[in-house]
Amino acid sequence: MKDEQMPLDDQARAILTGNDRGGYTVPTDGLYPYQWNWDSAFAAWGFSHFDIDRAWTELETLISGQWSDGMIPHILFHRPDPGYFPGPDVWQGRGPIPSSGITQPPVAASFARRIHQADPGQSRLKALWPALRRWHDWFMAWRLDDGNAVCVTHPWEAGRDNAPDWDAALKHVDPTGVGPYQRRDTGHVDPAMRPTAFDYDRYIKLVQVGVQHGWDHAALKRHTPFRVADPTMTFILLRAQRDLLETGTELGLDTSGLPDAIARLEDGARSLFNPTIQSYDSRDVRTGRWAGGISNAAFLCWYGGLTDDRMRDVLERVGLTSRYALPSYDPASSLHEPLRYWRGPVWPIMNYLVGIGLEEQGLTDQAARLRADTRALIEAGGFAEYYHPQTGQPAGGGTFTWTAAVWLGWAGRG
């Protein structure tokens, strides 16, 4: 819902402050009651437009949950909330703060760079930089496939929880022994907008596999039934490494190894181009099979810094044919569901990441389309989690932190 009496800039700021829990921000009240990794980085960027100290604090709180091996978890359970499942008792994370055992797309270094540009004093970023470097090094050590693409070991890691990219790989996950559990998400949102029971059984099984192996990443690399090379992670880590190199050089820090890491990830990104569909695609590492569909993650190639003219036609043919861009999955596919989470709706956060990549690569008309569509969706439907690509219907959670951040930093400008 949106307040017709309050300017959208003021509404966006009110959402960020309303979702503030003292040092960290929840994505939205109720549905997501903890600190989520990439949501938090967006929140920090949103705060930077009106409270720079609070912006840095958000990232510092996120970093405080870093594991000894360098991983930063996808959820930090700062305080108990029985209304959320699976909680810390299920995950049994092994960090300094109760946490999940998986990570999420590493956008934090890129947003730290943007916040630093707004607040060029060096001390806050300089203190964060080594932890961000350790996190990136963890990815390079444990999450690359043989072609140097970044893999996910749980659909939740990619941030695109129930995308069709994972359908085939999830069929190889045996949910036997999961046992009874009570989902909480469908108590907050229409079940037709959420992952199915088939998916959720396998999500929980993968958590149990992680617990079984003590979240030992070497063991999981060998034994997890789910390991998929993912464009989301690959392009976002590639961009984050570039931004980390830029800020590290500016701060006079040791950036040795980062150019080599960037080169490896560039190779990994190119390895995700599926010649059959002429687009970037996910690949099941266990079977070598492509997912075979086009998601909005494919268009993060420009955000990652790749110049790929082949994708311009794909963007026009798949990404820009709906009333509102970008649908999260190809509207022409039989798997497209316009209101079910990552199987079709438009996500402002992805529009932003793709949009700034397009701007940087000189594709200004396409970038302007994404910005205008995102602005129109928010103006008409408020600060929702995501939107129907044809009707603009707001869906998922409401008063969403990262949608407010996208408004303040991009969609509401110009």
Asked if 161 is an active-site residue, the reply is: yes
Asked if 385 is an active-site residue, the reply is: yes
Are 36 and 78 spatial neighbours (Cβ–Cβ below 8 Å)? no
Are 206 and 173 spatial neighbours (Cβ–Cβ below 8 Å)? yes
What are the start-end ranges of the H helices in 162-215?
167-170, 197-212
Q: Which of 58, 266, 330, 385 is catalytic?
A: 385
DSSP 8-state secondary structure symbol assigned to residue 299: G
Q: Which of 161, 165, 337, 373 is catalytic?
A: 161
d(CA 183, CA 160): 18
Structural element, H or E, at residue 395:
strand 394-395
Collapse the DSSP code of 407 into the 3-class scheme (helix H, G, I; strand E, B; otherwise coil) and give the result: helix
* Burial class of residue 114 (count of CB atoms within 10 Å of its CB; 0-12, 13-18, 19+): middle
Amino acid at residue number 187: G
DSSP string over 1-52:
---TTS-HHHHHHHHHHHTB-SSSB-SBTTTB-SEEHHHHHHHHHHHTTT-H
Is the peptide bond preceding residue 86 cis, with omega within 30 degrees of 0?
yes
Is the peptide bond preceding residue 326 cis, with omega within 30 degrees of 0?
yes
Active centre residues (catalytic)? 161, 385
